[in-house]
Chains A and B, each alone.
Chain A
């Protein structure tokens, strides 16, 4: 019997090549006579281009071609997710072109592209391009950009507004706040982050003049979607003319979902060179100015309730900074993925949110690990602590009091998971929040908080405990819902998988999802191995080439396990069914009399009469003897449209100590109790939580993109943008509750983002908890030593 590896801590198949330097990333690919591209980027945050003179650059050694905006005969990059699109809400859309033409809207926007024999020659030639700039005043703060007198970026966006979108029950929430016994108000900032995947972005474009077709290698999360967007929307050619290949992708965290200008440029450059391959790879500094940033919300929250701790209303106004021009789905993040889940795991009866998307002279903003849900969790978790502090209630007790009780599922939250039109609602299908909270409290020593605080004081430290009880929505998404939820996404979110069983009995699985380090080559094999009764060594996962994989929507939103693998399970089911029918033919029995046990197909009552899946494949793939009506080969494809999203939840507890003299925050303990349903590979789940937690803590304590008022990115490299180091963390203590998801056969929920969604609020709440005895109510992130110290000084001076 083959061991069933589903649920086991199997070491990852892909790791051998990835950790021994044998991974094959875009920059490892070297094609014959490949040329190299460098992009000239604006040094100004806001400027008109009076003229560009490329004559000197064109004459430099090794230069093959120089392009400016007017040389690109295509449409701008596409907008795929307006906010409230299908409800008719106006979005003042401004999309980037492959190269800016009349002017630039952020430091780093590309204005010219040089293609040369070597990367050095391309870079040297950039310096010879002469641009006559007319600098304009810039604005970088989203709230300030909407105020009168602010520099205007786009003629079609008065007050720099992209949209103002609302969700929830306005009148009911107004009444709840008006009539409440207690209302707490707070302005909070979820600061802009720069995502920093280990591999920056890059592409190779290759035009085939014989077939008039293009191939592009791209470090992308969505090769199939890019094929459609580039071919149909940007270049205006039939989709079969573009082939997209993502080789190994070294991390993405959302940054590689979108359509970028460089995709267009390398394809066009290759065509202009008559079919020479053209490669572009960005360095880290270039990445900071041309790949999307994340978060950047300014929020005014109002939380209302009774003196006994029952929350009756939550009202929120958020300014969401979307950058100088929109990224592919920028407007979707602070709307559907944020405001629709604001109430989190609480049964708040009245919720209303108004979100204004804003243009500023900064890099565009789009989905970054958690995409809206970290921002929502931060709002509601800070709000719960602020309300508790106002009425003198314990932070755990107020959460307990307001959790959605386990008998109220399926639960329709009032901030609008349902649609504004069309009736395609989704509900939170399951949840049981108290056991996770209780476990986390015990593990973290929360119950002895007072003693711990007193002991820390003796050492000159302020100690704080921070809770974050989160609910996240992932496993995106039912197509009817995502299309009709009011946003007009216009696309769907189903998935696909093809399974072929070869003559040799080996299995090849292909799919429309796209790994960037999650371990899909291992987890898909575990799942399909379980379905077909085969060892995972006999299952090969091939992904990432649009020629050779069925169409799918890529990997993000923690969707691969719930949606993608269900498609694989369906395909495996079709394989099993066909194998059963052919086994019946081989064994001269009726298909109804064939029993399937793992990879063994036997006749009921005559266990000696059996065939293995491998024997069936060998015969059926050759098929000299197929029965009437049965096609040769074991090759099945399935598509799966998930009926619901999935709903991971849990409670994290962070413990911090603050050095009174310097304001330095030390994370001394971190506990995470997560419910991600069943686990395909618990080791991989742990890894996802570790990484997500680290990223979320990074936001709370160290990270933050800093722009000068003139739009210069002051945190322009890792010398000034502080990424978390492993040595700054205590051991991360993980535990679980397990509530299988009813949405897919395995019962998984997805875990890629949960760590990042929970942890920022846990650490921020811990720091604010530690400072509470000083009369400090709220300090914004990042909670650097300077920020914390200044808050302490202000409090001592009587200004909290």
Chain B
């Protein structure tokens, strides 16, 4: 339970951090809250030679409105800071999910950027960003790029980030009056990670059907995904029950000692339905 020996350096600025990461050729890792990295290091499953501490880079913290109406959440913003932010309070799915992430220590030390970069296939934030069609801004010494969430999560603990890139902010769509959103999950009781976690955004009612539906699912597949067959069923007027039955279409459903393939696939449909119901209820 003691990490292998490592060097530690505190970044003086974002550019300093990026320069160090670029020069290290993969032997250095950034650390912010450390809530995912430190446990891995203690088990010696991760053995970075150098930790570059970016935790004090204030420019990466905080929530702000962008000119185009979107909301930018700095990568170093903690879950607790997000819970306290008034703008984010309008997002029902964040209201549901944030208080249940980890525990008090995790919520005060863990950052949204860290969670997304770590990409645990059962963590909650990726499903939420997928359902919100968020944009993830990554910077390196070579420049900056914006990655859509829908192509960001490539595998378990694997993202589109290059080793020398840091996430600087995550851009969420601006609030809408015509949609409701919700997050529902069934957890594995030991770790609290989701066996199936679902973020749903539904709205834009037009006639007898919903014009807008986005469903992000975590815990079920190799990596978090958008349940497009569910979305298509909803927007073509299917009942919630019928739409939810498509929760795992085309997905290699995961299996472990807590939930095997059969149960996990079933409970995914239940949680998808409950998330859709709760999202619709928020529309009043």
Contact = CB atoms under 8 A, between A and B. Distances in A.
A120 interface: yes
Nearest to A704: B257
Nearest to A702: B189
A491 interface: no
Contacts of A714: 257
Interface in B1-48: 1-2, 4-5
A285 B262 CA distance: 30
Given A664-B186, A718-B190, A120 B259 contact: no
Interface string B247-284: 00000000001111011001100100000000000000
B122 to A, nearest CB: 11
B257 A785 contact: no
The binding surface of chain B is classed by DSSP as: loop
A285 B257 CA distance: 17
B189 A786 contact: no
Contacts of A549: none
A784 B1 contact: no
A780 interface: no
Given A124-B5, A283-B1, A721 B190 contact: yes
Interface in A703-739: 706, 714-715, 718-723
A283 B44 CA distance: 14
A661 interface: yes
B206 interface: no
Max chain B C-beta neighbours (<10 A), residue from A720, A723, A790: A720
B191 interface: yes
Contacts of A90: none
B190 A662 contact: no
Contacts of A789: 263, 266-267
A598 interface: no
A223 B250 CA distance: 60
A715 B257 contact: yes
Contacts of A285: 1
A119 interface: yes
B5 A785 contact: no
A283 B2 CA distance: 10
Contacts of B262: 790
Nearest to B186: A662
A123 interface: yes
Contact of A120 (B2, B257, B258, B263): B2
A178 B127 CA distance: 60
Contact of B190 (A123, A124, A661, A722): A722
Nearest to B43: A285
B268 to A, nearest CB: 11
Contacts of B257: 706, 714-715, 720
B1 A785 contact: no
Contacts of B260: 786
Contacts of B190: 702, 715, 718-723
Contacts of A663: 263
B258 A786 contact: yes
Contact of A720 (B1, B258, B267): B258
Contacts of A723: 190
A120 B4 CA distance: 8
Interface string B182-212: 0000101111000000000000000000000
Contacts of B270: 661-662
Contacts of B267: 662, 785, 789
A786 B259 contact: yes
A469 B70 CA distance: 62
A466 B203 CA distance: 45
Interface string A112-125: 00000001100110
Contacts of A119: 2
A662 B195 CA distance: 12
Interface in A120-157: 120, 123-124
A784 B260 CA distance: 12
Nearest to A789: B263
A783 to B, nearest CB: 12
Given A662-B186, A706-B257, A786 B263 contact: yes
B146 to A, nearest CB: 34
A790 B263 contact: yes
B34 to A, nearest CB: 17
A362 to B, nearest CB: 15
Nearest to B42: A283
Nearest to B189: A722
Interface string A51-87: 0000000000000000000000000000000000000
Contacts of B186: 662, 664, 785
Contacts of A720: 188, 190-191, 257-258
3 closest residue pairs by CB, A with B: A722-B190, A722-B189, A283-B1
Given A283-B1, A723-B190, 5 more contacts: A123-B2, A718-B190, A722-B189, A786-B259, A790-B263
29 contacts: A119-B2, A120-B2, A120-B5, A124-B4, A283-B1, A284-B1, A661-B270, A662-B186, A662-B267, A662-B270, A664-B186, A702-B189, A702-B190, A706-B257, A715-B190, A718-B190, A718-B191, A719-B190, A720-B188, A720-B190, A720-B191, A722-B188, A723-B190, A785-B186, A786-B258, A786-B259, A789-B266, A790-B262, A790-B263
